[in-house]
Structure 1
Amino acid sequence: MKFLVFADTKIDSFVQMQLIDLARSLSKVDKMDVSFSYHSNLERDKDIVHVSQFWNPYPREIQLEGWKSDVYLRSFGTQFHTEDDVVWDTLDQLKTHPHREFLKQVLLFSEDFRLEELCIVKRPGMAHAFKLRKETFQVHYNREYRKHIQNKRVLDALFCHIILLANKRFVAVPPQTQQLYQDLRPTLTKLTSAHSTKDIAESILQMAAIIEQHTELSDMKTAYRSFSDKPQLSDIENNTQEFDDLTRNSETKTEKSIQKEDDKDGKEEQEKEDYSSWHDETSDPQDSFLQMDLDQGTNTDLLGEAAREAESGDAVFGSVQTSAQSTDNNDFNTQNEHEAETDSNQSGSDSKANYPYGEVNKNVTEHFVPAKPASMEEMAEYEAFQLEIAPFVTQLKQNFLKTMEHKRTSPREDLHFGRLGKKLTRLATDKNPRLFRKKTESQHELDTTFTLLVDCSASIFNKMEETQKGIVLFHETLKTLRIPHSVVGFWEDAADATTNDQPNYFHEVISYRNSLHQSGASIIQLEPQEDNRDGYSIRRMGEELLKRPEQQKILLVFSDGEPAAFDYETHGVLDTHEAVTKTRKLGIETIGMFIANGEVTEEEEKLMQNIYGPQNVVVPSAKELVDYLMPVLRKLLFKAL
């Protein structure tokens, strides 16, 4: 049984990515997120725009424009033109009112109505979405009005009447509220011409005094709109602490605070060693002016947390503890704070530095599973797979070696372009002289490495055998051509996943160090497990590829469905798309291969397009994986030549 329609509705990930980009552009907040909720509102403290599930049942065109109008209204309207404190204070004053829900709904509708007009004036491009929104709401509230009249919910019906009247569509005032409507009419007129949230709040409080006299009317039962909750004091303190850390307030202390700390911890300060510095504001340089050793990075090819490779343009940054000096000019507070905040962002204090694998993966714990020695059964099964794919391996090898040989032995002289040769007399004797040559190449060697990342989620249980054949083709082909590579299965343990701990496993069945001489029987050890967190896995394997010395690095991903893990359903596709984009920016060619269940649907094609862009391959069934993998490997290998 389905209790709620929206609970089973699947949101298009590409649409969500569009809405997130739109919200970030309009709100000027880099980390603004979009969530699908029952009502549309803005959580300013969490940087989340909530768009309404109200639009889910509508056709695609109306649905998209409706969500866009929600984003316009919140990320541009509410973000810059709503005074949250005024709304919260007004709602606090209405807490004990007998008709508080009705007044709250009128308050929120009036604010949205004002914001719509403001958005259209400041951003005319939003007019189309708001026009469609208004037409849809007219039909919806007309239907709601009739329902409330039948159920004798008079204040609910009056609220619908107010909305329809504001949108220039007239319906009769509910008979029981005729007198109330006449009393409220002057105040309602003021709401349509309000210029600020404060103006609306004042009118609502006037309405509260009027409607309080009508004790015979019960309060409104339906909630059509909502507003974000007021942040608690603890949240404000946490945010203040984070802001202080971000702006380095602890490092820009005033002279008084420094003096207090000196008095309190005098003994400790005496034991500390001071390094004095000099600049234009100090009277004279001290004796120990910048006396310290500065070391430049050592020459190394390590890419981990050890020393980095030095470059000719390197600048050395050192942190120096200086003694406090009085200056003649002290009007740098604002500038210093701004510079401190910018420096903090550059040094990695933002969320990207705190969550290098994405905020949705901040609670992931990593576990590596080494390959076990292959059993007799695994070796026998591998040999059977090897015999089956041997013709494909031979074909790839022959085509590749012929291409390499042709390139190596192709004519190097008498060319139309290249280096200028010595036989320049042809310029006078020939009508179409070939005066150029190319430098003779030595034996061409591939400077390439591969990583194959295999989705080991539970949904691949009926495809694993055919998937293993594709992995065997991958391994045997690269092994024959002496190209180092690795094969890694990944999954998340759904049974042990909690809010604070999501264990993710990497099963390396073929390693770089042994890939050119080890048997691939350990590939058979890959088995269906539970969930898959693709974005995190792609980021981690990208890091491992960056450690490789080869120039060309290729990451190939086998997957059979949309990413699904603990608290990952909403942002799984978006996180994976961001991981692919980031990995490609690092110079790693990332290609996705999707294994369908016998027939490729439009949704599956669109999913892969959303995640990997044009560099994706959709395989109709696992049985055809080898046939589809052949041209992919051929293209990648020839590209490396």
Structure 2
Amino acid sequence: MYRFIDFNDEKADTFLLLELTDLAKTLASSPLFEAAIRVHSYLSMNNHKVYVSHFWNHRPEQDKKAGMKSDIYLRALGNKKFTDFQVIDTFIRKVQSSGLSNFSAQLLMLAEDLRIEELCKKERPGTVSDFNIRRKIYNEYFSSQLVVNLEKNLYPDALFNLIYLILNSGNPFFSIPSFNEEIDRAIPIIRGQLELLFETKSTRDCIDVCTNVIEITASVLSSDMINEYFHLPNPEQNMSADDTFSDLVRKDPLQNNDTAEEKAGGNEEVHSDKMNTWHRETESPGKSFMQFELEQGTRTDISGGSEREGEEGDQALALIQGRSKQTENRDYSRLEMSGQADSKFGQGKNKYGSANKNARAIFLEANRPYQAALSSYSKLENEVKFYHKKLKNIIKRMMEKKETDHRTQLQMGRLGNNLLSYFIDEHPKLFYKKFEPGKEINAAFSLLVDCSASMFDKMDETKRGIVLFHEALKAVSVPHEIIGFWEDANEAVTHDQPNYFFQAIPFSKSLLHRSGPEIMQLEAMEDNRDGYAIRIMAERLLKRSEKQKFLIVFSDGEPAAFDYDNGIVDTHEAVMEVRKMGIEVFNIFLSNSGLEPEQKRVFENIYGNRSIVAPYVDELPEVLFPLLKKLLNQSING
């Protein structure tokens, strides 16, 4: 769709975002972390996100890439490995009630970035060039901001700009402008304290220096900063989503703190019993664990006799015990486990990608078609009959040709008619073999139809292409399924996003003579969570026994759903994952009014060279026909 107003229609560079995500995962040593773009750069341990700043946009490509990479270095490597978030949380709570909370938080962020930048350079020397570009751009930016803020008499912001330049200019003869008499007298003292930041060894050292600077500035500043140049994450963002063993251990003392003087002799009688505590709310593991509140008692060294020494292969929850290595101590392999079916997408809430951890699949079956649907389908079938009959004849000729083709010049097989090579060649090859093709095409197809609200004006024409898809594959006896997908925007909440999959034509009915009119029940609905839908369909295809599997996605726009800001990246990752499993994924982009270059680039980023454009939806049969012909031919020769 062509847009009249295009100034705010900025598209994400998917390849760059994927590159930053891969870099974040590598530096953080965790596959859970993802890169995302926000106003400011920071690390969110709770959400497993490394946020890159918008600050680097609209700059030369080299500067933009270097700046965003430097954000990743500081967050995924620097903050995650070298920053003590516990002391930062204490600092945040301490300065929240002060009059300079904004100034204090940004000063600490600046100081910590200065410290961990050097550690990143030392550990990863290849980051030096990107950090140099970062520092050059920020120096230019803060120099201009210093002039602007001084002209507006925003002294707290101007003082922060000056502090950045003092720490990063690299010029010992840096010229300091005049603020007012009171601030001018304090600046030499502040500068002396700032020099101590170059000697800090830890986050706590940075906080000590910053505290001294804040005490000095509090006496000369009457208000807090207005602008936010750096973002210091709050305690909720700093908190890790994965509780450690230490987090689960009780730390409060007993009411009494005595220890039994008598040592265990080994003959004590130990009683044990089982207590079944399952109920509906604990069916799947959460962040809450049952604990016993033992308020008083005497410590002894009597063993209960049911424990064994832990090993690194052990897991905290029995649900994932299957991923642990076998223990060398007491064998618990015979314990009954809550089994889960194996999946190529893994286990747990991130089974279908971290962006879809709260998504839920709901499958719907088609109703029996009414007379109106039968009439509409019959009309569409007549319109595409030429295509599927032509396709059937082409495939039939291909299979017949394969049956008659034979391989020649072999050392064994049937003796050929041409025996001349026996007399003229040193190693004659006189035999041939016929191909032994299967009687059927060994392939299965899934057609995934975007049923988002934007398909409202395209669904009728799209059904012509879907009918061609169904009738053509039915004519050559190839099993297939046609499923429409959408997410209900009204039902979606933070912890539950229901995604509906409407089975217009399931595999079980795809080759039945009267199947097809159910396609007319496909309608435009709500949002589209493409990455999740592709993984769900791939999971179904993997259960098929056919040798070759194809997934074709009909879509008219980018992924858009509740809490799905990185939908483009998630869909690209889903496509890559599914292709690694041996499933060919194609996208057919549908439009009613031509294609914008930005849209074309987005879909090429997601699907690579397997994104096919139908510039106008009424041309869909002409686009779908050669694709089916190519894929069926591939299945015959494969």
The alignment's TM-score, normalised by the length of structure 1, stands at: 0.79
Match of 2:348 in 1: 354
Post-superposition offset of 1:31: 0.5
Report matched runs for 1:189-588 at 5 Å. Answer: 189-212=195-218, 214=219, 217-231=222-236, 239-240=243-244, 266=272, 324=305, 336-341=310-315, 344=321, 346=323, 352-355=346-349, 356-411=351-406, 415-417=408-410, 419=412, 428-431=422-425, 433-439=428-434, 441=436, 444-516=439-511, 517-568=513-564, 570-588=565-583
Give secondary structure in 2 for the equivalent of 1:491: strand
What secondary structure sits across from 1:547 in the alignment? coil
Q: 1:189 to 1:508 in 2, by over 3 A?
A: same
Residue 337 and residue 505 in structure 1: after superposition, are their counterparts in 2 closer, same or farther (change >3 A)? same
Looking at secondary structure, tell me which structure has more helix per residue: 1
The Cα offsets for residues 202-250 of structure 1, whole Å up to 9 and x where unpaired, read as 32233344445x25643433332222223599x78971469879xxxxx
**Residue 130 of structure 1 corresponds to which residue in structure 2?**
131
Residue 555 of structure 1 and its aligned partner are, at CA, apart by 1.4
Aligned CA distance change for structure 1 residues 150 and 410 (closer, same or farther; 3 Å): same
- 1:185, 1:238 → 2: CA distance? 41
Query: How many Å separate the matches in 1 of 2:497 and 2:439?
Result: 46
Q: Is the Cα–Cα contact under 8 Å of residues 100 and 223 in structure 2 kept in the other structure?
A: yes
Deviations 1:105-146 (A, max 9, x none): 322212212222332343232223222222221222122212
Question: Residue 258 of structure 2 aligns with which residue?
Answer: none
Q: How many pairs does the alignment contain?
A: 561
CA distance in 1 between partners of 2:477 and 2:461 (Å): 25
Q: 1:640 aligns with which of 627, 635, 638?
A: 635
Aligned CA distance change for structure 1 residues 528 and 263 (closer, same or farther; 3 Å)? farther
Quote how far apart the aligned CAs of 1:447 are.
1.6
Q: Identify if the C-alpha distance between structure 1 residues 85 and 376 changes in structure 2 by more than 3 Å, giving closer, same or farther.
A: closer
Which letter does structure 2 place at the counterpart of 1:67?
A: M
Identify which range, 513-522 or 163-172, moves more after superposition: 163-172
Residues 241 and 399 of structure 1, relative CA distance in 2, 3 Å threshold: same
Give the RMSD, CA atoms, in angstroms. 3.6
Task: Provide the C-alpha distance between the structure 1 equivalents of 2:526 and 2:61, rounded to a whole number of angstroms.
Answer: 33
* Shift in alpha-carbon separation, 1:173–1:420, aligned structure 2, 3 A: farther
Q: Spell out, residue by residue over 1:263-322, the C-alpha distance to the aligned partner (whole angstroms, 9 max, x if none).
A: 7854659x9xxxxxxxxxxxxxxxxxxxxxxxxxxxxxxxxxxxxxxxxxxxxxxxxxxx
DSSP 3-state at the match of 1:634: helix
Superposed CA offset, 1:21-60 (max 9, x none): 1111111122112233332111234422122222335454
Q: CA deviation at 1:97?
A: 4.8
Q: Which runs of 5+ in 1 are unaligned?
A: 246-257, 272-322
Aligned residue in 1 for 2:30: 29
Question: Residue 98 and residue 545 in structure 1: after superposition, are their counterparts in 2 closer, same or farther (change >3 A)?
Answer: closer
Query: Could you tell me which of 604, 608, 613 is aligned with 1:613?
Result: 608
Change (3 A) 1:577 1:133: same
Instruction: Quote how far apart the aligned CAs of 1:385 are.
Output: 1.7
> What is aligned with 1:145?
146
Q: Per the alignment, do residues 401 and 160 of structure 1 end up closer, same or farther by CA in structure 2, a change over 3 Å counting?
A: same
Q: CA distance change for structure 1 residues 419 and 620 in 2, over 3 Å: closer, same or farther? A: farther
Q: Which residue of 2 aligns with 1:161?
A: 162
Q: Which amino acid aligns with 1:337?
A: E
| Residues 450 and 555, structure 1, Cα contact 8 Å, conserved in 2 | yes
* Uncovered stretches (5+) of structure 2, i.e. residues with no partner: 1-5, 250-263, 277-303, 325-338
Q: Secondary structure at the match of 1:513?
A: helix
AA paired with 1:480? A
* Cα separation, 2, equivalents of 1:623 and 1:425: 57
Q: Is the 8 A contact 2:388 2:471 kept in 1?
A: yes
User: What per-residue deviation string (whole Å, max 9, x for no partner) do you get for residues 307-365 of structure 1?
Assistant: xxxxxxxxxxxxxxxx9499xxx9xx5xx431214984825999941122233323333
In 2, are the aligned partners of 1:164 and 1:171 still within 8 Å (CA)?
A: no
Higher relative contact order, chain-length normalized (CA < 8 Å, sep 6+): 2
The structure-2 alpha-carbon separation of the partners of 1:90 and 1:518, relative to structure 1 and needing over 3 Å to count, comes to same
Question: How far apart are residue 549 of structure 1 and its match?
Answer: 2.5
8 Å Cα contact 1:6/1:56 also seen in 2:
no
Change in 2 beyond 3 A, CA 1:586/1:259: farther
| Aligned mates of 2:600, 2:145 — CA distance in 1 | 39
Mapped to 2, the partners of 1:527 and 1:242 lie a distance apart of 52
